[in-house]
Structure 1
Amino acid sequence: MPYTLADARFLLARAAGLAHRTLLSLRTRGMRASWERARAQLVPPSQALREGLYLPPATPFAPFALPTSDQPVASVVIPVYGQFDHTLACLRALAAHPPEVAFEVIVVDDGSSDATPESLPQVDGLRYHRRASNGGFIAACNDGAALARGEFLVLLNNDTVPQPGWLDSLVATFREHPDAGLVGAQLLYPDGRLQEAGGVVFCDGNAWNYGRFGDPADPRYAYLRDVDYASGAAIALPRALFLGLGGFDTRYAPAYYEDTDMAFAVRAAGLRVLYQPAARVVHDEGTSSGTDTSSGVKANQLRNREVFLAHRREALARLRPPHEPSPATLHAGQRQVLVIDALTPQPDRDSGSVRLCNLMRLLRREGAHVVFLPANRHYDGRYTDALRQLGVEVWCAPHGARAPAWLAEHGPRFDVAMVCRHYVASEFLPLLRRHAPQARLVFDSIDLHYLRETRTAEVTADATMARAAERTRRRELGVIAAADTTLVVSSVERDVLGADAPGARVDVLSNVHEVAGPGLAFDARNDLVFVGGFRHPPNVDAMRWFVGDVLPRIRERLPGVRLHCIGADVPPEVAALADAPGVLVHGYVPDITPYMDGCRLAVAPLRYGAGVKGKVNLSMAHGQPVVATSCAAEGMHLVDGHDVLVADDAQGFAEAVVRAYGDRGLWEQLAANGLENVARHFSADAAREVVRRVFFD
């Protein structure tokens, strides 16, 4: 085929566009970042990145249906101008994996001359609106917003393929974060690489697609985060807010920078702009307008940068100059707190995890940026993802290096580092002193392990255990001496350290619980419940004692009463208790709320242990009275007969259960006072003063 003048013009235009983008990148990003960006773009992506994506087959059009609603919660507005094949793929993805939330789809046709006007009216459940003339992206989006009926407006480019669960994740973000005003999706290239994990804007008005060409699972891009803006290719806002702000600003017509400006308007209205990594959307960037900013519609990007710079000059002046963004710079204005524990917390399995998750949640509410590093570096599925949905930056393999290298890279950015459990802290404190010398080092004991082990040895009369407890005591006190601050969960443990470590700075940060409310009334409740993970030896001992010595005495007077035994990691000796009359061993239960709200009494028959007992807090937070031993009630501000019943021998424990089970007035008193106890001593409000003193002063 002969080489023509048209070919030469094409190559010249392409070279000029590449040169322009290269110079712009060098100016805004620098040599290193520009090289990394070019290398990421040129190196073929791993096939594994694409394997998890849904991309509908490209087959000829035939009528189909969208399962939309006449009473939508979300209105998905798709502006189109030609590119029918892309629009068809987008709509087919919505039909193949419909959201759980009620939705409608509005396609605004901005003057297409292809198969769009003939074919789209044949899609059942689709609201098709054709504009009288072509007005551009901004006009089409604003028209769609005016037609929308849902509580939330979702703007979606036609060259996208939304992945399963995307819309539910966007809408859920507003429910979980009531101060959110705009939420953007995680945008992916069709090859699976990351296109954008939220946008960064610099003081000169230029913008950066954070994470571009990276791995979507990289910890830097995998957590919910405040962002400067989110690309209008897939964003959601409350419809009333969008309309109240006047829609996309027409000064940017026909397109470009309108989404960035909208994000600034949302923040000016006192609301947050968030990036939601769970809302994954494939975006074939540049389908409609190309990527060359030197010509065509895309040239508006350069013109509108100047418009944006003039319009938002005051807000832009508070932003950083062009640089390569990183977590350290993205959160430079926040208190940065590193939290290290042995494992990723699993709050549906143990009370220590509930406390840690709620502590990180409270730190986030107080304005800190929280980074969590599990010592085992494992990605723990939904537990890791749940932390990331709280806005916690969680690092794990294969992206996170081993501790020495990871801390060498990230240590300088932290103001505070908290390490949980003495056997984890003994490994990490020396590394933190070396790589994060500026950080305050906090040791979170969870509970004093040596105190628990000593009590175990006393109850079991085990000399070997007593020697092991003494070794633990020396190690734990060594960690306390090395830390700047030590956290314990009760005043009892603080008093113990007052004698054993008199020079240590010790603060009490107890369990942190949400008060769930009273649950069902007395007459609507039946049976007893015990909750506790069975990797914890005191829980195994408690159930064996209760079922063997206490429950038979209870059933003599309450023959129909049953015990629901709930907890993960059930050992054979606990599983065997199901053979006893009235005992149901459930093991791990994903949602224990029905047992908290429906069982009449909780029992906490612990004969030894340390710390405060999450099982007692949990029941009281649901208005469920508790019968406990002195050990289980220790350090929890409880008064026997007021907000708990306490007994330590089998006969006394059984009598307390029978009494509370049958006395409505006593039951209601214990329930009400237990709720008040949790609110006063174990809520986020109760913990806030200590958190501010330890992590922010």
Structure 2
Amino acid sequence: MTAILAPKKILIIGFVWPEPNSTAAGSRMLQLLHFFKGNNYQITFASTAQASEFSMNLEALGVFKKNILLNDSGFDLFLQELNPDIVLFDRFLTEEQFGWRVAKNTPNALRILDTEDLHSLRSVRLESQKNKTTASITDWKQADMTKREIASIYRCDLSLIISSYEMDLLLKEMKIDEKLLLQLPFMLGNIGESDKMQWMPFEDREDFVCIGNGKHAPNLDAIRWLKTEIWPLVRKQLPTVNLKIYGAYLPESILQLHQPKEGFLVLGRANDAKEVLGQARVSFAPLRFGAGIKGKLVDSMICGTPSVTTDVGVEGMHAHLPWGGKVSNDAESLAENAIALYTDKKLWTKCQSNGEAIINQLYDKSILEEKLLSRINETLNSLEEHRASNFIGSMLMHHSMASTKYMAKWIEAKNQ
């Protein structure tokens, strides 16, 4: 009789409960859940956050849910009982909070960090934008958050890096061993002929669209920049065309920018982001700072909608391939590019084809899933040797466990 192997177990510690329809981070997490489910993992998703009405129904995916607390030794018992093969930290902040408990209670579990994007890079760029300066690599290296995030990467066995730009930063500027990193962008299905048949043609599309979650500072800055400087220049040349702003959790200050007479329509949460993108002729994303891969630009390419964006917008997203739209960094050039894309069918069609090539060549789910599975198995099979070669990681884990552990114990005792 053939023995039935028990499913492998993974614990995902979420910074938030995933909202795939609200955030790019939620979409990324859903892709990872599908990957582990498809590879016969029993998945438990735990978080200290409060769920919202837009949180994904994890149970429907066959994922176990667990509410956990910070600074609580009950988490140790939960870990020991679950005894996962893999623990995946959703962003470095959860590794800081729970990594030492995972290392202590399940030392043989593979520790994976999904960075989502380099939060330190986004944070430094945000400060520079506020101060009207340009963030340098040196500024990033010297930031406190960078030291915390890099330490977290070292303490883990494998970190998933979403953009090629961030991968280069870690390899070339920080000299992190490539064995600790895996560049893993969004894992998407290819755009096929049947998908393209569903795309609305140039003539049937109308208006511009800008999509961005209101909890994300780069999106709010982009919307304000559109309102004050970019859109008036476009509207002057295209007086009957509208710009439709969509986004979950848009604050009141953004909702108040709604001006139908100016063709500036702030419409709030989109029930289906791909539907509104697929009806628009051009996607607008004038991002002045940020990090990672921009979900709105990925979705635009999937919908066959060319985009107008910045160098920050396309950073680390398209390798050597021509962009699926137009890229510039000042208000006048962005407006000119928007008008050109909106009115020139030949240019628009070429940019649409560029977007298709980017998705199919760089975001191929089958290739990326195979790459991830291979690296996980390879690291699991040589975990002791892998950790022995990561002295900096073991040193940081030693100090982190000492400092974080006693602070947590103090808070726990205080709470009692």
Q: Does the pair score TM above 0.5?
A: yes
- Which of residues 52, 55, 61 in structure 2 aligns to 1:390? 61
Describe the shift of the 1:502–1:642 C-alpha distance in structure 2 as closer, same or farther (beyond 3 A).
closer
TM-fit CA distance, 1:384: 4.4
TM-fit CA distance, 1:514: 4.2
Q: Are residue 668 (structure 1) and residue 352 (structure 2) matched?
A: no
- Which of residues 118, 123, 128 in structure 2 aligns to 1:448? 118
Q: Which amino acid aligns with 1:607?
A: R
Contact kept in structure 2, 1:627 and 1:645, CA below 8 Å: yes
TM-fit CA distance, 1:360: 1.2
TM-fit CA distance, 1:590: 2.0
Describe the shift of the 1:495–1:639 C-alpha distance in structure 2 as closer, same or farther (beyond 3 A).
closer
Residue pairs, 1:425-574, within 5 angstroms: 425-461=95-131, 470-498=143-171, 499-503=173-177, 505-514=180-189, 517-518=195-196, 519-574=199-254
Contact kept in structure 2, 1:514 and 1:621, CA below 8 Å: no
More moved, 654-663 vs 577-586: 577-586
1-structure distance, mates of 2:342, 2:357 = 20
Deviations 1:146-166 (A, max 9, x none): xxxxxxxxxxxxxxxxxxxxx
Q: Which amino acid aligns with 1:630?
A: D
1-structure distance, mates of 2:277, 2:228 = 24
* Identical pairs, percent: 26
Contact kept in structure 2, 1:477 and 1:501, CA below 8 Å: no
The number of residues matched between the two structures is: 364
Residue pairs, 1:17-416, within 5 angstroms: 317-318=1-2, 333-376=6-49, 378=50, 380=52, 383-385=55-57, 387-396=58-67, 402-410=74-82, 412=83, 414-416=84-86
DSSP 3-state at the match of 1:544: helix
> Which residues of structure 1 form unaligned runs of 5+?
1-316, 321-331
2-structure distance, mates of 1:638, 1:487 = 18
Larger RCO (alpha carbons 8 Å, 6+ apart): 2
Describe the shift of the 1:533–1:460 C-alpha distance in structure 2 as closer, same or farther (beyond 3 A).
same
Cα RMSD between the aligned structures? 2.6
Contact kept in structure 2, 1:488 and 1:507, CA below 8 Å: yes
1-structure distance, mates of 2:361, 2:371 = 14
DSSP 3-state at the match of 1:383: coil
DSSP 3-state at the match of 2:256: helix
Contact kept in structure 2, 1:629 and 1:646, CA below 8 Å: yes
2:257 — aligned with what?
577
1-structure distance, mates of 2:326, 2:158 = 35
Q: Which amino acid aligns with 1:510?
A: P
Deviations 1:24-48 (A, max 9, x none): xxxxxxxxxxxxxxxxxxxxxxxxx
Q: Which amino acid aligns with 1:360?
A: L
TM-fit CA distance, 1:574: 1.3
Q: Which amino acid aligns with 1:500?
A: M
Describe the shift of the 1:594–1:401 C-alpha distance in structure 2 as closer, same or farther (beyond 3 A).
farther
Q: Are residue 595 (structure 1) and residue 269 (structure 2) matched?
A: no
TM-fit CA distance, 1:379: 5.1
Describe the shift of the 1:596–1:420 C-alpha distance in structure 2 as closer, same or farther (beyond 3 A).
same
Which protein shows a greater Rg?
1
- TM-score, length-normalised on structure 2? 0.81
Q: Which amino acid aligns with 1:318?
A: T
2:402 — aligned with what?
none
2:414 — aligned with what?
none
TM-fit CA distance, 1:457: 1.9
Contact kept in structure 1, 2:270 and 2:276, CA below 8 Å: no
Describe the shift of the 1:448–1:563 C-alpha distance in structure 2 as closer, same or farther (beyond 3 A).
same
Q: Which amino acid aligns with 1:416?
A: I
Answer 1 or 2: which has greater helix percent: 2
- TM-score, length-normalised on structure 1? 0.49
Deviations 1:285-330 (A, max 9, x none): xxxxxxxxxxxxxxxxxxxxxxxxxxxxxxxx3367xxxxxxxxxx
2-structure distance, mates of 1:395, 1:654 = 48
Deviations 1:61-111 (A, max 9, x none): xxxxxxxxxxxxxxxxxxxxxxxxxxxxxxxxxxxxxxxxxxxxxxxxxxx
TM-fit CA distance, 1:554: 0.7
DSSP 3-state at the match of 2:336: helix
DSSP 3-state at the match of 2:88: strand
